[in-house]
Amino acid sequence: MSTNPTDIISITQQTRRNRIAIGMLVTLETTLLTIMNILLVESDKISGIKTTEEGLKFVWCIENIPVYLDEDSASDEDELQDIIDIYQPYTPVLIYMGTVPVGTRLPYSIQIHQSLVPSYGGDDWGAEETMWDPITGCIYRSDIFTYPDTTGFDRYMILCHEFGHAISLEHSNDPWSPMYSPPGGMTCTLDKKAKNALSNVYLEQQ
């Protein structure tokens, strides 16, 4: 039985098309797997604990941390309470103590200021300035600075971000984390890595 040359050409063209289609599917699958791998790797780069140049961890070495608002930040009380509730299970006991006069600097506490600015100038959105013992790495005061022109959800996320610094968290490479810089994330939440970082470092003190 003879084969029509036209049929041979048609079969060859179909085979070539099939090979191209298979190649494209393999390329697409490889691309998708690569993207998934990148996302998994990036999601694993979550905030850890801040350290000194000598490698000491910046941590609170007391069991109870008073938290204050300057009187000019009194409107942030509800947001602050919410943020404390989010961080609380993984830190020393955070105790909201109410408001203090503007300019007050109390030792062994976290304070939120609106009118004041940090000594180094800070960032465009807000800042945190922590004081610690250079020998032990123990934090003895942390000040959070927010700016009056930042309002609403942005203000809430900035407060969440700076509060994370105040209790020892460093920046994250994950843009979904509130510890991303500038403040990222869609909600003030802690992922598993951040929870573990805080739990482990404060568990070591007990």
- In order along its 206 residues, the chain shows pLDDT tens digits of 555 555 555 666 666 766 676 666 656 665 554 444 444 434 334 449 998 888 888 899 999 999 999 999 999 999 999 999 999 999 999 999 999 999 889 999 999 999 887 777 666 678 899 999 988 889 999 999 998 888 899 999 999 999 999 999 999 888 889 999 888 888 999 988 899 999 988 876 65
Domain locations in the chain as residue ranges: 1-43, 59-203
Q: What are phi and psi of 127, to 5 degrees?
A: -160, 165
Give the closest residue to 123 by CA, choosing from 169, 162, 179. 162
Q: Which residue has the tokens 């013992």?
A: 133
The whole-number pLDDT of residue 38 equals 42
Q: Per this entry, what is the length of the chain? A: 206
Which residue, 168, 144, 139, 138, is CA-closest to 157? Answer: 144
This prediction's pTM: 0.74
CATH class of 59-203: alpha beta
CA–CA dist 58, 201 (Å, integer)? 10
| Count of Cβ atoms closer than 10 Å to residue 51 Cβ | 14
